[in-house]
Structure 1
Amino acid sequence: MREGDGYFGEDVAATYDESAAEEFRPDVVEPAVDVLAELAGDGRALELGVGTGRIALPLARRGVPVHGIDLSRAMVARLRAKPGGDAVGVTIGDFATTRVPGTFAVAYLVFNTINNLTTQDAQVACFHNAAAHLRPGGCFVIEVGVPALRRLPPGQNAVPFHISPTRWAFDTYDVATQAMSSNYVTIVGGRAEHRSIPFRYVWPAELDLMARLAGLRPRDRWEGWTRTPFTSESHRHVSIWEKPAG
């Protein structure tokens, strides 16, 4: 892993798009880009955790000026190598605290990336950072899963989410601290390789309080990018908070 890239160094970046292939499907990407382009309007968009450009590149192709922040140079190198990669400005840094010049109509965090911040303080700082970048009337958008604690029987702390002959993946949860990790066991040449990435899960109501602390107010919450209503049975949500005009 390259120093400074966190948990998304060269070993992860090299296969990231393939390992997350379902998230790159047009029927997944296009509804997200539709919402973000609408919120951006005639303004700029800021992606926190821009990665390999799954959302930033198609959003830029819509004519929206996009700037990204990411800690991983290895992931950003993949973005740069793609067609149109030079159209997205990128600042290397921690998206919870790194500032870039100018103001934005929309800032967004997708695909559970808020959970990459492994403390509540860092998540609160991220909301303040997003709010500081927004112009009056601008929006902060987060896409994140609802913690799967209902799937944990007493005495169990792991939930599998992928099982195949050559790859096993599971999440572990500590309900006392809201710490979690995603764990991947891959069989390569008859040998098992294990990788673990730490996260902190966060509840919708907790996110709303973080937004309030940052001076943002709730605008919308859906089950997904197609604006299906959010319910108690939803496994994820897309939430939007607005910076008051004036």
Structure 2
Amino acid sequence: MSTFAGRFAGQTAVITGGASGVGRELAARLTTEGATVSIWDRDECALSEAIQFTGAIHSKVVDVTDAAQISAAALEANTKLGRIDILVVSAGITGPTTTLWDYPPEDWHQVIDVNLNGTYHCCRAVVPYMLKNDYGRIVNISSVAGKEGNPNASAYSTSKAGVIGLTKSLGKELAKTGIRVNCVTPATFRSPILAQLTQGQIDYMLSRIPMGRIGETEEVAALVSWLVSRECSFSTAATFDISGGRTTY
């Protein structure tokens, strides 16, 4: 993992889905680069292990679909860390692999609730703290599925398209402040979320990547670490591709 020592010295970060995958990798990188990090996740056991791996000084077991829980977690993190400079919303689920007409309504609502409503709850809770300091960096993790729509993944594709729309809207609302809001759209990358997919679904997504390989969490974390830095000053309401050439728009 290539890092920039001291890049985030004196800054604080909240990362949801911080117990695994991109969230965990990013938390470790930001800590190494000087940030004080709070990781949120619903998996208490994985969260305990991630604290040791990432060096985060604060953690919170939360359900991102619960607005009251997220508001309380944001207040606690702001109090513990002294401020919130960075928010990365990485928590997400894939849902079933099936056609839309066979998609169970309860699963549809769960995927939308976690991926899209969860992003809304987190941004809504944290932005007021950033506005007080007129500074912040927010990155929402979307997906190439939000751009193209993966077959047999209608809820996931819809939720991730919604995250792109939410990011564009919020970024423009905050454009004249010191807060920047962007999202990234990874293709398939090596993380625990792959366990939620069938091999057929993984093979389909891999076949769409011109580089012919799955991405690594370190590669996504590297892009996000720039987006949450002070250097990212003239990009907001934007979508950044990291897909091995699959989507380049």
TM-score, normalised via structure 1 length: 0.42
Larger helix share, 1 or 2: 2
- Which is greater in Rg? 1
Q: TM-score, normalised by structure 2?
A: 0.41
- Which structure has the higher relative contact order (CA within 8 Å, separation 6+)? 2
Between Structure 1 and Structure 2, the one with more strand by share is 1
